[in-house]
């Protein structure tokens, strides 16, 4: 009898286990709720361990369970002290994650702890800290938490239990950081001593002579929010001036070098890209445009993004190039650039965001994280050894910076792509990231990232962004019903993932009543403005490179202030006119949606990266048993469509770039596409970059098509402007042809045509040559209006 009952119980448990396994990856509301709860528990595991073992210091060491403190003995330890100002920064930076969890009791408890930690409403500490990091982690979180505390529509609204203490603390910190901008140029120094009284920055410190673009420009976002919430416009005016001044330092290609001397404005680092040191500039141009309804910021984003696409965009990532020439500078991408697909989603460029995000998924599959730097192109072989043989490269060469401190950027992009597409492909990624956090990174007192992705060694540190960003984005990925996702929500995330929004009454009141009465900063901006006018008078040729950095510093709605000084306003109109991008909203699922995952069933290049970058996507030994996330057996079987889940054949044709740096006005006019896949490119003035495919018979093209003799029918190679090609055309049949596969970073559809208005082939100024003068022996036009290179037509590039 006992044996029979035991067998019945075992059978029941087996059936239950089978049912549970079948339930996995269905992503029902019940399953998503379970994942969401797991993330919540992980957050409180890390947060509570910080409170027990790290508070009141800045961080907790997750392995040794002791505080990670500021280096009080060595103030020159910039690596440690730039972030750790002895501000209890993990507590402050985590506030908004508790708000996103909609946990009002814990939120109130954390706010009270901040108030007890800083009873005077000020940071009474003697620390020299980095202005940018302190702004995004401390001021940003305090402002967002203040919004949550005072907004009756939010779950953690505190009402009468809150007296504005967080806003006061944010303003105190801002007043201690703002003197960093009191330089001759108006651009901030990278670091400042918080406890010092108001003082002009000192440039005798060598570490004050270089500041990166993100740090110079981006405090504008949080400081402008502070102005809206306090009514004091000095924070906005001072930092917005620096943002615009930074943008004015761009090259003729509309690319910004990554760092400058903040006083002399001379560039230090000539390269540019979308990663470390410059990433947040693009982020805050677009997000600032959305949050503050600012058309000038939107214009900056449009010009900057188009220039990035023209000069930096590769098939699967954005490269680091020379800012003045657009040529490749270093063959690596860094972990911070994993945020950019999420920004592309906000800009509405979802298709390219999907491709760029896929690159980072493959990197995660390979290394178990996103290493700080990864070479996308095999390095040169080491010099020959004494035996005359070349020594092959290894993982240490491929990964010049080998750590991964659980940065949030890949989590962030995954979240935004799911909100835009609702493809379960991204939920599956989230499930695996959750599993990795639990099984590989969870330590005794927190979460430890990789010190070395090659060896799998963990680092005994949990930076504040793990709780404030990484886990927040993962939670929101699974929390479909979060108040942030409600229809009409106007939330914009800061670069530290602090939710920001501007209630209409706050916006209106600021426009009506904002004051700028601080004489120190009034005089500072007046002096900067006068120097700008002198500079323009001396070097008028720079005028086209300056976008509104002498815009109205004091707006008309401040006429009721006590200031008597009148200011001239430069009415600047950029030649780089591009219509505003439209930030997208999350797509709602419809009855017409396929059951299958579009990425698994329709994305034919899902595994192209694995082959193309096989030379540098080399798994370390500790990752050998880690399966590709997208090939998870249960997920793939449930969500792939067997009828369409096929891979495109890898291309065997060659690709080269054709650059047009032509005379005339430097204008960017949008590429427009209609229903028949004909792209009209209205001018080639300035720089245009064409990716040209060399088509040869029996090779596989970039679209997965087989090149056959049919592609070579009805070909004309007679040049309308020269007799140079006549002999070649009459004696030789073509063995290859060309076609454009991308133009200025935009992919040309298969069978698509590119039309260029012939009379606008170059946008000429009065003193430039006529169009015919540009046609040479190398470049011609045949009698079918196709552009030719050395007598070979580009079959889909037509002059009309």
> In the annotation, is 409 catalytic?
yes
* 647 pLDDT higher than 90: no
* Residue 372: active-site member: yes
Active site residue 133: yes
Q: How confident is the model at residue 772 (pLDDT cuts 50, 70, 90)?
A: very low
* Range 324-340 average pLDDT: 96
**Which residue is catalytic, options 38, 103, 349, 372?**
372
Q: Are 548 and 640 in contact (CB under 8 A)?
A: no
Mean pLDDT of 267-290: 97
Q: Encode pLDDT of 569-610 as tens digits.
A: 223 333 333 333 333 333 344 433 457 999 999 999 999 999
- Active site includes 610? no
Q: Which of 93, 133, 334, 608 is catalytic?
A: 133
Q: 258-272, 465-479, 720-734: lowest mean pLDDT where? A: 720-734
669: closest CA among 753, 760, 754? 760
Closest CA to 702 of 757, 658, 740: 740
Q: Model's pTM, two decimal places?
A: 0.88
What percent of the chain has pLDDT above 70? 82
State the Cα–Cα distance between residues 480 and 471, nearest whole angstrom. Answer: 15
Q: What per-residue confidence (pLDDT) applies to 588?
A: 42
Per-residue HEC secondary structure of 324-364 comes to CCCCEEECEEEHHHHHHHHHHHHHCCHHHHHHHHHHHHHHH
246 is in an annotated binding site: no
What pLDDT score does 540 carry? 61
Whether the per-residue pLDDT at 661 is higher than 80: the answer is: no
Which of 58, 222, 409, 632 is catalytic? The answer is 409
pLDDT of 516 > 90? The answer is yes
Q: How much is the average pLDDT of 190-219? A: 82
**Tens digit of each residue's pLDDT (9 = 90 or more) over 125-181:** 888 899 999 999 999 999 999 999 999 999 999 999 999 999 999 999 999 999 999
Q: Where are the domains of the chain?
A: 654-799
β 67-68/686-696 pair status: unpaired
Radius of gyration of the chain (CA): 29
* pLDDT in the model for residue 624: 95
Of the pLDDT bands very low, low, confident and very high (cuts 50, 70, 90), residue 771 is very low
Check residue 548 and give its pLDDT. Answer: 46
- What is the DSSP pairing of strand 753-756 with strand 792-799? parallel
Give residue 203's pLDDT band: very low, low, confident or very high (50, 70, 90).
low
Q: Answer with the residue of higher pLDDT: 576 or 259.
A: 259
Of 9-18, 359-368, 390-399, 593-602, the poorest mean pLDDT is in 9-18
- Which one of the listed residues 38, 236, 244, 279 is annotated catalytic? 279
The answer to whether 419 and 346 have CB atoms below 8 angstroms apart is no
Alpha carbon distance 58, 125 (integer Å): 13
Pair of tokens at residue 551 = 């815009």
Task: List the single range of 242-251, 571-580, 706-715 with lowest mean pLDDT.
Answer: 571-580
Tell me the average pLDDT of the chain: 86
């Amino acid at each position: 009898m006992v044996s029979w009952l035991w067998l019945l119980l075992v059978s029941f448990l087996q059936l239950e286990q089978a049912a549970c396994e079948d339930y996995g990856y269905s992503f029902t509301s019940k399953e998503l709720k379970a994942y969401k709860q797991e993330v919540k528990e992980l957050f409180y595991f890390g947060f509570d361990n910080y409170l027990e073992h790290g508070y009141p210091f800045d961080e907790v060491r997750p392995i040794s369970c002791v505080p990670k403190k500021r280096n009080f003995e060595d103030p020159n330890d910039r690596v440690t002290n730039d972030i750790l100002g002895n501000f209890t920064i993990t507590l402050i930076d985590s506030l908004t994650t508790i708000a996103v969890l909609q946990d009002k009791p814990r939120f109130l408890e954390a706010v009270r702890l901040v108030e007890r930690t800083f009873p005077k409403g000020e940071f009474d500490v003697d620390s020299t800290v980095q202005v940018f990091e302190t702004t995004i982690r401390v001021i940003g979180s305090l402002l967002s938490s203040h919004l949550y505390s005072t907004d009756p529509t939010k779950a953690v609204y505190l009402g009468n239990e809150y007296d504005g203490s967080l806003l006061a603390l944010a303003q105190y910190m801002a007043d201690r950081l703002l003197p960093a901008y009191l330089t001759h140029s108006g651009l901030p120094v990278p670091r400042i001593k918080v406890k010092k009284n108001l003082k002009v920055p000192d440039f005798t410190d060598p570490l004050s002579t270089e500041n990166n673009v993100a740090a110079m420009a981006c405090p504008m976002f949080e400081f402008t929010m502070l102005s809206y919430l306090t009514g004091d416009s000095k924070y906005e005016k001072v930092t917005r001036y620096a943002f615009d001044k930074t943008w004015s330092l761009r090259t003729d290609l509309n690319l910004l070098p990554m760092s400058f001397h903040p006083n002399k404005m001379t560039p230090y680092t000539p390269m540019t890209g979308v990663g470390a040191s410059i990433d947040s500039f693009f982020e805050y141009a677009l997000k600032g445009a959305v949050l503050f309804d600012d058309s000038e910021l939107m214009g900056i984003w449009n010009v900057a993004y188009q220039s990035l696409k023209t000069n930096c965009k590769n098939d699967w990532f954005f490269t680091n190039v020379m800012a003045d020439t657009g040529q490749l500078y270093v063959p690596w991408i860094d972990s911070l650039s994993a945020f950019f697909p999420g920004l592309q989603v906000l800009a509405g460029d979802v298709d390219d965001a999907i491709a760029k995000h896929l690159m980072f998924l493959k990197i995660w599959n390979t290394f178990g994280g996103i290493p700080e730097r990864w070479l996308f192109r095999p390095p040169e072989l080491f010099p020959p050894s004494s035996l005359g043989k070349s020594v092959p490269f290894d993982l240490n060469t491929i990964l010049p910076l080998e750590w991964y401190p659980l940065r949030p950027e890949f989590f962030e992009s995954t979240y935004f792509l799911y909100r835009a597409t609702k493809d379960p492909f991204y939920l599956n990624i989230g499930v695996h990231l959750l599993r990795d956090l639990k099984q590989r990174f969870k330590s005794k007192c927190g979460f430890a990232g990789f010190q070395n992705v090659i060896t799998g060694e963990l680092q005994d540190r949990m930076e504040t962004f793990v709780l404030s960003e990484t886990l927040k984005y993962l939670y929101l990925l699974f929390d479909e019903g979060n108040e942030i996702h409600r229809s009409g929500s106007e939330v914009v995330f800061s670069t530290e993932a602090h939710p920001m929004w501007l209630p209409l009454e706050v916006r209106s009141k600021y426009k009506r009543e904002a004051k700028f009465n601080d004489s120190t900063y009034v005089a500072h901006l007046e002096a900067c403005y006068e120097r700008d006018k002198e500079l323009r008078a001396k070097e008028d040729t720079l005028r086209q490179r300056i976008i509104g950095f002498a815009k109205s510093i004091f707006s008309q709605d401040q006429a009721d202030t006590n200031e008597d000084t009148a200011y001239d306003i430069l009415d600047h109109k950029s030649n780089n006119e591009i219509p505003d991008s439209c930030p997208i909203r999350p797509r709602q699922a419809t009855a017409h949606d396929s059951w299958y995952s579009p990425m698994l069933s329709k994305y034919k290049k899902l595994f192209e990266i694995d082959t193309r970058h096989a030379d540098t996507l080399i798994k370390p030994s500790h990752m050998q048993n880690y399966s590709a996330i997208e090939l998870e057996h249960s997920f793939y079987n449930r969500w792939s469509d067997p009828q369409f889940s096929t891979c495109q054949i890898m291309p065997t044709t060659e690709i080269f770039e054709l650059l047009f740096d032509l005379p005339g006005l430097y204008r960017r006019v949008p590429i427009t596409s209609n229903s028949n896949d004909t792209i009209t490119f209205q001018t080639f003035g300035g720089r245009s970059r064409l990716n040209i495919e060399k088509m040869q018979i029996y090779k596989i093209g970039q679209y997965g098509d087989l090149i056959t003799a049919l592609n070579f029918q009805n070909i004309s190679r007679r040049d309308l402007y020269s007799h140079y090609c006549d002999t070649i055309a009459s004696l030789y049949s073509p063995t290859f042809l060309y076609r454009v596969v991308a133009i200025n970073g935009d992919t040309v559809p298969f069978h698509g045509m590119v039309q260029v208005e012939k009379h606008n082939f170059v946008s000429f100024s009065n003193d430039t040559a006529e169009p015919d003068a540009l046609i040479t022996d190398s470049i011609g036009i045949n009698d079918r209006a196709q552009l030719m290179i050395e007598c070979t037509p580009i079959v889909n590039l037509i002059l009309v």
